[in-house]
Amino acid sequence: MSSPSAAPRPQTTPEPTSEPTPEPTPELRALAAAGPRRIVVLGSTGSIGTQALDVVRAANRLDGGAPFRVVALAAGRGRLPLLAEQAVETRAAVVATSGSGEDAQELARRIGERAAAAGAGDYRPEILHGPEAATAAAAHPEADLVLNGITGSIGLAPTLAALRAGHRLALANKESLIAGGALVKEAAAASGRPDALIPVDSEHSALAQALRGGSAAEVDRLVLTASGGPFRGRTRAELEAVTPREALRHPTWDMGVMVTTNSASMVNKALEVLEAHLLFDVPLERIDVVVHPQSVVHSMVQFVDGSTLAQASPPDMRLPIALGLAWPHRVPGAAAACDWTRATEWTFEPLDRDAFPAVELIKAAGERGGTHPAVFNAANEEAVHAFHDGRIRFPAIVDTVETVLGEHQDGGVLDLGAVLEAERWARRRAQEVLAR
């Protein structure tokens, strides 16, 4: 099978503007003057990772000094040439691959060749390899902030490692929060840092922006927007015939294979509802989803007096990534703004819960708590792989999640061992269900 993460990487978003370089804000100048923020980029070769490096490159070109310095990079083993190129460009002290010793040797060779060609022959980063490599990179002692752009719940150990090392965590890897839940929140609280956990997911970045400076009591509901994905408007019967290629044709975002497939099934929105609950402590019954096909309004907060605040910008992840890296500061020119001189239409419609039951399913799993959310995610990851392998039809992804969740017996303890054991069980059980 070809694993989803091994499929061709979607292109990153083009440069937003050819206008003159914007001026840095006083806050960003101060950040640079205090010494650049030292960052670790996990999943650096993916959609989030490459856009994060675009943000760093652009921000460091602003007048007033470089606000960021990359101290470590980590990726899988799928794109070693790109990882080597990134290492030489950033001069990261640590470069990690989840691959084997042979992969590490190939990475070192490629870095050596590229460094020599770039006139930086003395650049010799520490190279880490193996399943724990990203976790070690996340705990890098010189780091201030870790961006987790790994895909899947394999990102949980690095998420915990970053927080336990006392680093601020800019979190794109929503699966680690879903699987780890209270464990991740505890690690964030124990770090003693205000704003230890900064959301990078576009909806949660929007919510964090709308919630800044307010109080919990004034919030009535959170409203997450969903593009509707490529299958918006299809019935469940019609979804039986859709292909992996069609599932990867996202209408508004260029992203990795797993999150794109999850957008098509609404599993992404389901994960995001629970992510919002965990990040902002709003009960699940007060979190709604509305379909907004243009993906310009990234989410909304409805307040008790009937007011609603929405965050709007053209779909471009560089904005929430830049805010995550520079938090609480904004990076001028991170992405293009809305063009209000042109006629524009934003539309909103309800989610079809019969064709797309994932959101209801995760709300039930979230209410049951414990390891149920980890089981939801792990079963989904297995089912997505099976769909891309041609082993199942599209609706069987969420059907499999529902079956496995329905059988799950929570042991009543939530520690890392319990989460990992529940995940192992869910993956095994999902494989059995998928094979039927």
Ligand X SMILES: CC(=O)[C@@H](O)[C@H](O)COP(=O)(O)O
Ligand Y SMILES: NC(=O)C1=CN([C@@H]2O[C@H](COP(=O)(O)OP(=O)(O)OC[C@H]3O[C@@H](n4cnc5c(N)ncnc54)[C@H](OP(=O)(O)O)[C@@H]3O)[C@@H](O)[C@H]2O)C=CC1
Sign of CA dihedral 384, 41, 198, 52: negative
Q: How far is the CB of 75 from ligand Y (least distance, A)?
A: 4
Please indicate if the annotation marks 85 as binding a ligand: no
Position 253 contacts ligand X (CB under 6 A): yes
Please indicate if the annotation marks 76 as binding a ligand: yes
Please indicate if the annotation marks 174 as binding a ligand: yes
175 binds, among ligand X, Mn ion, ligand Y, none (CB under 5 to 8 A by kind): ligand Y
Please indicate if the annotation marks 432 as binding a ligand: no
Please indicate if the annotation marks 369 as binding a ligand: no
Stretch that binds Mn ion, among 188-196, 202-210, 293-301, 369-377 (CB under 5 A): 202-210
Please indicate if the annotation marks 201 as binding a ligand: yes
Residues 36, 38, 41: CA angle, nearest 5 degrees: 135
Q: What tokens does 94 get?
A: 């640590």
Q: In the beta sheet, which residues pair with residue 299?
A: 224, 311
Query: Which of 74, 87, 219, 310 forms a contact with ligand Y (CB under 6 A)?
Result: 74
226 binds, among ligand X, Mn ion, ligand Y, none (CB under 5 to 8 A by kind): ligand X
Position 385 contacts ligand Y (CB under 6 A): no
Position 204 contacts ligand Y (CB under 6 A): no
Q: Which residues contact 91 (CB under 8 A, 6 or more apart)?
A: 70, 120, 123, 125
Position 317 contacts ligand X (CB under 6 A): yes
172 binds, among ligand X, Mn ion, ligand Y, none (CB under 5 to 8 A by kind): ligand Y
Stretch 163-182: interaction string toward ligand Y, x if CB under 6 A? ---------xxxx-------
Position 275 contacts ligand X (CB under 6 A): no
* DSSP per residue, 387-430: HHTTSS-THHHHHHHHHHHHH----S--SHHHHHHHHHHHHHHH
Q: How far is the CB of 398 from ligand Y (least distance, A)?
A: 17
Report the C-alpha gap between 57 and 45 in whole angstroms.
15
Instruction: List helix spans (H) across 281-415.
Output: 318-326, 358-368, 372-388, 395-407
Contact indicator for 372, 60 with CB cutoff of 8 Å? no
Owner of token pair 């509901």: 221
Sign of CA dihedral 199, 129, 426, 244: positive
**Residue number with CB closer to Mn ion (191 or 268):** 268
**Residue number with CB closer to ligand Y (231 or 253):** 253
Write the DSSP symbol of residue 142. T
Report the C-alpha gap between 184 and 166 in whole angstroms.
13
Please indicate if the annotation marks 46 as binding a ligand: yes
Position 226 contacts ligand X (CB under 6 A): yes
Please indicate if the annotation marks 48 as binding a ligand: yes
What residues form the annotated binding site? 45-48, 76-77, 173-175, 201-203, 227, 250, 256, 263, 268-269, 272
**Contacting residues toward Mn ion, per CB under 5 A:** 201-203
What residues form the annotated binding site for Mn(2+)? 201, 203, 272
